[in-house]
A and B are shown apart, each in its own frame.
Chain A
Amino acid sequence: MTAPRSGAPRTLAELSLPSEPGNERRASEEVARAVSELGLPQRTLERLKTAVAEATKNAMEHGNRYDPEVPVKIQVWLLEERLLVRIIDRGGSPPPSPNAQTPDLEAKLEGMQTQRGWGLFLIKNMVDELRVSGNPDHHTVELIIHLKGEDDAG
């Protein structure tokens, strides 16, 4: 059963995870647990978990340079008809650009493009909206899922 979604914005979870390899899966599982009351379709949930894991990995690797003393902060918000997951790092290197070059597998196989570069591409394809912002102190990635009509999807 799907929980009611009306009312003021509501925090579903606030997490703080050490920047250590592998913690991206912990992040995705904890976010999945936080949104379990929403009854998301399985496909939406799997897509959200992949997006959260990839964004958390980017934050740990590029933002916090895998310094376990520097946590990645994750906030999960339920808005009127949207689910918002905000992932915040210390901002060790420039924030990823949502307009980065789209990976082209054929070009990668021909050596015309680096074989890496899948993370941001996956995130963009797993959520309805991706927002990236930052200042010298931190970067924030916002993953947004539109909930309207989710009950019929999947």
Chain B
Amino acid sequence: MPANHLEVSVRLKPGGVVLDLHGEINGFAQEALNAAYADAEAKDPETILLNFEEVDYIDSTGIFLITRLLAKARASKRRLLAYGLSDHYVEIFNITRLSDFVSVFPDEESALSEASVS
């Protein structure tokens, strides 16, 4: 099947910066993910939101990359939130305990609502 390499766009919203993720989060995603996260950090938000609505695949390397983003966010005292994960990837966030550190929401509205409470 054709590769669907990750593309990321960055949006500034009241309450935080949203990273809109499109494609697969695997070993090919590192550059795009890190560049987008750096763009988001440059805006100095309290909260960064990861939008997974257009993500169709996350592998163990993807979990590693998300863990690195989480480590960066914690180091700079930012909150990392996630929304739009499929049920399967919500389960994987639970199994890996990522959901203990990255609050998971069903959609952008509920995530932004949480982001605006600080």
In the complex formed, the residue of B with least CB distance to A103 is B96
Neighbouring B residues of A125 by C-beta, 8 Å = 95
Size category of the binding interface on chain B: 20 to 34
Neighbouring A residues of B31 by C-beta, 8 Å = none
Partner of B68, one of A26, A57, A106, A115: A115
Q: Which 7 A-B pairs have the closest CB atoms?
A: A118-B60, A119-B60, A46-B88, A105-B97, A118-B63, A125-B95, A22-B3
B27 at the interface (CB under 8 A from A): yes
Instruction: Give chain B nearest CB distance to A79 CB in angstroms.
Output: 25
Partner of B57, one of A25, A105, A106: A25
Instruction: Give Cα distance in the complex from A46 to B100, angstroms.
Output: 22
B64 near A109 (CB under 8 angstroms)? no
A24 at the interface (CB under 8 A from B): yes
> Can you list 18 A-B pairs, Cβ within 8 angstroms, ordered by A?
A21-B28, A22-B28, A25-B57, A43-B91, A46-B87, A50-B59, A50-B88, A105-B67, A105-B96, A105-B100, A105-B101, A108-B67, A115-B64, A118-B96, A119-B60, A121-B95, A122-B92, A122-B96
Neighbouring A residues of B97 by C-beta, 8 Å = 105-106
B42 at the interface (CB under 8 A from A): no
Instruction: Give Cα distance in the complex from A7 to B34, angstroms.
Output: 52
B70 at the interface (CB under 8 A from A): yes
A109 near B95 (CB under 8 angstroms)? no
Instruction: Give chain A nearest CB distance to B31 CB in angstroms.
Output: 14
Neighbouring B residues of A21 by C-beta, 8 Å = 27-28
B70 near A109 (CB under 8 angstroms)? yes
Q: Which of B51-87 contact A (CB under 8 A)?
A: 57, 59-60, 63-64, 67-68, 70-71, 74, 86-87
